[in-house]
Amino acid sequence: MVIANDHYTYRVTWSKEDNEYLGLCAEFPSLSWLDKTPEKTLQGIRQIVADVVADMQASNEKIPEPIATKQYSGKFMVRVPPEVHRNLAVQAAEAGVSLNRLASSKLSQ
C-alpha cells in the first residue's frame, strides 16, 4: 500500500537499455522500478518508496523530506572560473541589470 501524503518527486522515463519504463524518486536516488507501462512503473516506484519509508519508520531512521514541502531561501552559491565571472559581469553591465538578475534569468531558462 502506498503511504498517505506521499509528496515525493517521481519521474517515469523510457529505458532503452532495459526496454521498459524506468521509475525513479529524487528523494531516494538508490531506488528504481522497471515495468512495461508508465502507469505500472509509477505504481511500482511509489510502492517501493512506501515500503522503504515503512522500514525506516520501524527502525527509527530519519526519513527524507519531500522536495515539494521543503522551504527554500532563494539563495545558493555558485563558483565559476574568473573568466566566466568577468564575461557575465560584462553581459550584465551591457544589459543594464545586476549580475544577480542576469544569472537568475539564465538559470531559469
Q: Is residue 3 part of a domain?
A: no
Q: Cα separations (Å) of 77 from 72, 74, 80, 97?
A: 13, 10, 10, 19
Q: Is residue 27 part of a domain?
A: yes
Same domain, 58 and 79: no
When divided into structural domains, the chain yields a total of 2
Q: What is the pTM of this model?
A: 0.75
Same domain, 84 and 40: no
Q: Is residue 4 part of a domain?
A: no
Q: Is residue 89 part of a domain?
A: yes
Q: What is the pLDDT of residues 27-82, one digit of tens each?
A: 999 999 999 999 999 999 999 999 999 999 999 999 999 999 999 999 999 999 99
- What is the residue range of 49's domain? 10-68
Q: Is residue 2 part of a domain?
A: no
Same domain, 85 and 52: no
Q: Measured between alpha carbons, how far is 43 from 38 in angstroms, rounded to an integer?
A: 9
